[in-house]
Structure 1
Amino acid sequence: MLLTLMKSKLHRVKVTQAELNYVGSITIDEDLMDAAGLLENEQVHIVNNNNGERLITYVIKGERGTGIICLNGAAARRAQPGDVIIIIAYCTLTADEAKTHKPLVVFPDENNRLVTGGQAARG
């Protein structure tokens, strides 16, 4: 049996841009991608805390150190700059692997920057 579990998440990042006229996706600061173990083109789920919208898209690398979180294409209709979102990635594990799996949760600051110490937690 295979189970789908949360692999990692960027908790409460702020949308910095929304670009409607773009081929869909979400652009994420590469520092944040690294911290959450996200890969370019990886599927992610996005939850908008401001309006309750949920969507699925894929990751595009954003410029490192900029704090960019940009919803592109149709996803731009689901959030606006300033909205707080959660970006979640999932993985597929066997039942045995799932028993010991610890997801990685990253807590950036209000400017989508990593803070020294305590910005990520497993479990």
Structure 2
Amino acid sequence: MLIERFKSKIHRVKVTEANLNYIGSITIDEDLLDAANLIEGEKVQIVNNNNGERIETYIIKGERGSGVICLNGAAARRVQVGDVLIIIGYGLMDFEEAKTFVPSVVFPDENNRLVG
């Protein structure tokens, strides 16, 4: 049996941009993607701590070291620049593997940069 399990999280990043006139997705700094074990095109859930919105979309790789967190397209209407988000990736895995799987969790600083 396969189950869907939390595999990656970027915890408490700030929205730096919202681009309504884009096809869709979320642009994330490549450093954060690498640290959280997320990849371009991967489906993610975005939880907005400021207003409670939950959004599902896919990732676009942002400029490495930029700190960019940009909601694009329709999702841009559901955030404000400065909102605090949690970005969560899930994976399908065997039930037994899921019991011992250790997710990748990243806690960026207030400028969306890796700490340490």
Taking structure 2 as the reference length, the TM-score comes to 0.99
4+ aligned runs moved over 3 Å, structure 1: none
Provide the rounded CA distance (Å) in 2 between the counterparts of 1:77 and 1:15. Answer: 12
Taking only aligned residues, the RMSD between alpha carbons, in angstroms, comes to 0.5
- State the SS of the aligned residue for 2:35: helix
Which segments of 5 or more consecutive residues in structure 1 lack a partner in the other structure? 117-123
Which segments of 5 or more consecutive residues in structure 2 lack a partner in the other structure? none
Q: Match of 1:52?
A: 52
Q: Match of 1:11?
A: 11
Provide the rounded CA distance (Å) in 2 between the counterparts of 1:74 and 1:85. Answer: 16
Residue identity opposite 1:30 in structure 2: E
- State the SS of the aligned residue for 2:12: strand
Identity %: 72
Structure with more contact order per residue of length (Cα contacts < 8 Å, sep ≥ 6): 2
- State the SS of the aligned residue for 2:40: coil
- Deviation of 1:54 (Å): 0.3
- Deviation of 1:63 (Å): 0.4
- State the SS of the aligned residue for 1:59: strand
Taking structure 1 as the reference length, the TM-score comes to 0.93
- Deviation of 1:29 (Å): 0.3
> Are 1:111 and 2:111 counterparts?
yes
Report matched runs for 1:11-50 at 5 Å: 11-50=11-50
